[in-house]
A and B are shown apart, each in its own frame.
Chain A
Amino acid sequence: QQQVKQSPQSLIVQKGGISIINCAYENTAFDYFPWYQQFPGKGPALLIAIRPDVSEKKEGRFTISFNKSAKQFSLHIMDSQPGDSATYFCAASMIGWGKLQFGAGTQVVVTP
């Protein structure tokens, strides 16, 4: 049973555009929702994370929107740059619980 569902599988966006990736979760006990960025040949790097007590968190060009009632959260990448081309993973966990449940990933390609 996939506890975190991520869409789309891939995304092509022009430089300067907005990339939007969506995730939905099942377990209402989850209370920690990070996003990771992974480049080929590298491990996932923590990008931004949110707790369910806030509906939005912004760090630079990256914004997480969180909808607790719908059990959904999304990543917005504003002013997308070619250097943002990577695979993005959403994840969910509980504070104090070691296991991160990952989505299947979204490959983002930013064209010049």
Chain B
Amino acid sequence: ETGVTQSPTHLIKTRGQQVTLRCSSQSGHNTVSWYQQALGQGPQFIFQYYREEENGRGNFPPRFSGLQFPNYSSELNVNALELDDSALYLCASSPDSNNQPQHFGDGTRLSIL
């Protein structure tokens, strides 16, 4: 059984740039959630995708957007990067039936200079 994989593992950008992060779901899972984890804090929910549709969103501005593809892989896009966007971005997948449990990848560490 293949777990959740994310790419890239690390990324450095400058303010104002745009970034795309990628996630492959665990085999058999068709629901993907994205979280932002600032240093020393718990993960914060960004949004969830189920069967290619956004299925819930946290308190993040519209410059955070996502996509889910027919093979259930997913992208997180962030426009107009700000210094506060520096964080670990985590993807989690879950089975269709009840959205739990969620299994996390190892994340993408994004640094904004």
Could you say which residues of chain B place their CB within 8 Å of the CB of A43? 4, 90, 104-107
Asked if B2 is at the interface (CB within 8 A of a chain A CB), the reply is no
Q: How far is the CA of A46 from the CA of B90 in the complex (A)?
A: 14
Query: When the two chains form their complex, are residues B43 and A99 in contact, meaning their CB atoms are under 8 A apart?
Result: no
Known: A43-B90, A95-B99. A100 touches B56 (CB 8 A): no
Query: When the two chains form their complex, are residues A96 and B98 in contact, meaning their CB atoms are under 8 A apart?
Result: yes
Could you say which residues of chain B place their CB within 8 Å of the CB of A105? 40-42
Query: When the two chains form their complex, are residues A98 and B103 in contact, meaning their CB atoms are under 8 A apart?
Result: no
Query: When the two chains form their complex, are residues A97 and B56 in contact, meaning their CB atoms are under 8 A apart?
Result: yes
Could you say which residues of chain B place their CB within 8 Å of the CB of A101? 45
Asked if B74 is at the interface (CB within 8 A of a chain A CB), the reply is no
A-B contact count (CB 8 A): 64
Chain B residue total in the interface (Cβ 8 A): 28
Complex: chain B residue closest to A36, CB-CB: B104
Complex: chain A residue closest to B88, CB-CB: A43
Query: When the two chains form their complex, are residues A49 and B101 in contact, meaning their CB atoms are under 8 A apart?
Result: yes
Asked if A25 is at the interface (CB within 8 A of a chain B CB), the reply is no
Asked if A102 is at the interface (CB within 8 A of a chain B CB), the reply is yes
Per-position binary interface string of chain A over residues 34-65, scored 1 when its CB falls under 8 Å from any chain B CB and 0 otherwise: 10100001111110010000000000000000
Query: When the two chains form their complex, are residues B106 and A97 in contact, meaning their CB atoms are under 8 A apart?
Result: no
Could you say which residues of chain B place their CB within 8 Å of the CB of A95? 98-100
The 7 closest A-B pairs by CB, nearest first: A102-B42, A98-B48, A43-B104, A99-B45, A43-B106, A98-B56, A95-B98
- What are 27 A-B contacts with C-beta separation under 8 Å? A6-B42, A34-B100, A36-B104, A41-B106, A43-B107, A44-B90, A44-B104, A46-B102, A46-B103, A49-B100, A89-B43, A93-B100, A95-B99, A96-B98, A97-B99, A98-B33, A98-B48, A98-B50, A99-B33, A99-B58, A100-B33, A100-B35, A100-B92, A100-B102, A102-B43, A104-B41, A104-B42
